[in-house]
Amino acid sequence: MKHKRLNRDGWGFQYYPYYQMRIDHDLFHGLACLIRMTDGENNYWETPKAGRVQVTGSGMTWLELVPDGTGRVITVKYFPDGTHDAERKHYPVPADPRFRPSVWYVDIIEGIEYDEFGVAVFIDKYLDVIFTPEGDVRIDDRDELDRAFASGELTEAQYEAALSECDRVIHDFCGDIRKTDEWCAQVRRLAEERIAAGEPVQLCRETAALAGGKIPG
């Protein structure tokens, strides 16, 4: 299984602020990470209902949530604050006009580890759930999960756990996407309040290399 860092270093951008924090609140218990994209090309996925959905680009914010007791990483890919793509003709009224999701991407995972800088690393179990505010729902990479099981990389228990977690994600989040939007916006507000109060940028391998161990201002 692949190990992927939650600062999403594999996307090829230059330095961007990455925040990682533990949140314990009635709304959410778990790890919350926030990425502010300061550069990079606009990239899109095609979906049947929403059409072309933006996933990266300058000004976007990604909120990543790892709730306690689950096998999932929830990533909400937000448009630049207060905006959404005019191409999205059927884009619904957002729960919070500042925080407008372009798309959700949920990784099914085996667990979380931490690298030498304390950056969270998830163990990817191949299966993903993608959904949009307009109602698209897609299960991705089932073929990779099946191959990993067939090859012996995953045990039957791990394979069945991934499928069960996928079903729970669809049940928990895709039946009422407006409710999901509101919950994510509330958790993002908690994270933004922490940042406004002085939550530090998380040091990671990339920023250390750029600044000799010091985070750029």
| pLDDT, tens digit (0-9, with 9 covering 90-100), for 49-102 | 999 999 999 999 999 999 999 999 999 999 999 999 999 999 999 999 999 999
How many structural domains does the chain have?
A: 1
Predicted pLDDT at 211: 57
Predicted pLDDT at 8: 87
For the segment 127-154, what is each residue's pLDDT rounded down to a tens digit?
999 999 999 999 999 999 999 999 999 9
Helix (H) or strand (E) holding 185: helix 177-196
CB 77 within 8 A of CB 19: no
Q: Is residue 134 part of a domain?
A: yes
Q: Is residue 91 part of a domain?
A: yes
Whole-Å CA distances, 193 to 19, 65, 182, 209: 12, 16, 17, 29
> pTM of this prediction?
0.94
Q: Is residue 214 part of a domain?
A: no
- Region of residue 118 (left: phi > 0; alpha: psi -120 to 50; beta: else): left
**End-to-end CA, the chain:** 36
CATH number of the domain encompassing residue 154: 2.40.380
Q: From CA 26, how far away is CA 4, in angstroms rounded? A: 28
Residues 6+ apart with CB under 8 A from 33: 6, 7, 18, 19, 20, 21, 63, 64, 65, 66, 120, 202
Q: How far is CA 146 from the centre of its chain?
A: 23
Largest Cα–Cα distance in the chain?
49
Q: Is residue 212 part of a domain?
A: no
**What is the extent of the structural domain holding 186?**
3-207
Q: What percent of the chain has pLDDT over 90?
A: 86
Q: Is residue 63 part of a domain?
A: yes
Q: Is residue 215 part of a domain?
A: no
Q: Is residue 145 part of a domain?
A: yes
